[in-house]
Amino acid sequence: MTVVEDRETLLDTEVEALEERVATPKTVLMCRPEHFTVSYRINPWMEPANPTDTGVALRQWQSLYDTYQRLGFHVELIEPIVGLPDMVYAANGGFVLDGIAYGARFHYAERGPEGPAYSEWFAARGLRVVEPVSVNEGEGDFLKVGETIFAGTGFRSDAGSHVELARIYDREVVTLRLVDPSFYHLDTAFAVLDDKGGPASVAYLPRAFDDASRAILEHRFPDAVLATDRDAAVLGLNSFSDGRNVVIASKAETFARDLESKGYVPHGVDLSELLLGGGGVKCCTLELRW
């Protein structure tokens, strides 16, 4: 094959990739940050001495909500509770699949009451709620790609929760161990771009994982987007996708370009105030797979 033919083939492949990205309607659960502040420190992003602005957090959260509405998502809301400033990070409230909600059991006492609050919401919507035995922080550490659930451990969710997941949902569960405390939940270092799966269906930060976990990711996702340290530092990977549109941190500029090169359409949102609590787009978003 000539150089010209090679180039034409590459262009054809790129065009095909653009055409193949298909958006799938999403239903998500969110919580308005009406009581958001940083009054304790349970991750490296949090510093109670630094002031936070609840009004700014609300406006930025609203921009995320509005983006989801514009993309055609159905957004459910859970009522925020006084004294639970991290309740805005709805992803940690549980894991929902096949009409079953696996409840959260938080690592830190400060967030403990969030678990029952979310489980009550799930039950009121007709979901079958399974109360956890092991410590887990919901979709913060559990992400579905194809028929496999990738499950994080190392800082928050216990490996025992992965066993519970496999039993409850009868799915393959693959454990990934996180080693950098700044990326303490799986969804801070691993993003699902297309939940139908495929070699380019995820993005991740290699150095956030141990050697064995990196080997798993390299094998299963050879065409994954590899995040830069700069984008990871603004929780760029803490994103949410419908298979075509990927909502990301607005400052994750290299990540946005990399997504475009794979045929995805990035949508930047500024959640810098909520980043002070250690959360971003995905942290504020729990997918409801009724």
Q: From its phi and psi, is residue 104 left (phi > 0), alpha (psi between -120 and 50) or beta?
A: beta
Pick out the chain residues at pLDDT < 50. Answer: 1-18
Structure-token pair, residue 44: 């490296």
Burial 61-82 (b: 16+ CB within 10 A, else e): beebbebbeebebebeebebee
Q: What is the pTM of this model?
A: 0.92
| Mean of the per-residue pLDDT values of the chain | 94
Provide the Cα torsion 108, 128, 81, 69; round to 10°.
110
With contact defined as beta carbons under 8 Å apart, do 23 and 242 qualify? yes
Torsion of CA 233, 236, 238, 244, to 10 degrees: -170
Q: Which CATH architecture group holds 3-287?
A: 5-stranded Propeller (3.75)
Q: Are 188 and 235 in contact (CB under 8 A)?
A: yes
Classify burial at 282, counting beta carbons within 10 Å of its beta carbon; exposed 0-12, middle 13-18, buried 19 or more: buried
CB 243 within 8 A of CB 263: no
Which residues make beta-bridge pairs with 144?
A: 149
**Phi, psi for residue 77 in degrees, rounded to 5:** -125, 140
Domain ranges of the chain: 3-287
Q: 144 with 97: CB under 8 angstroms?
A: yes
CA distance 234 to 112: 26
Point out the residues that are catalytic. Answer: 185, 283
Half-sphere exposure of 273 (CA within 13 A, CB side): 21
According to the model, what pLDDT value does residue 7 have? 37
Relative to beta strand 225-226, strand 172-177 is: unpaired
Pair 249, 236: CB distance under 8 Å: yes
| pLDDT tens string 118-155 | 999 999 999 999 999 999 999 999 999 999 999 999 99
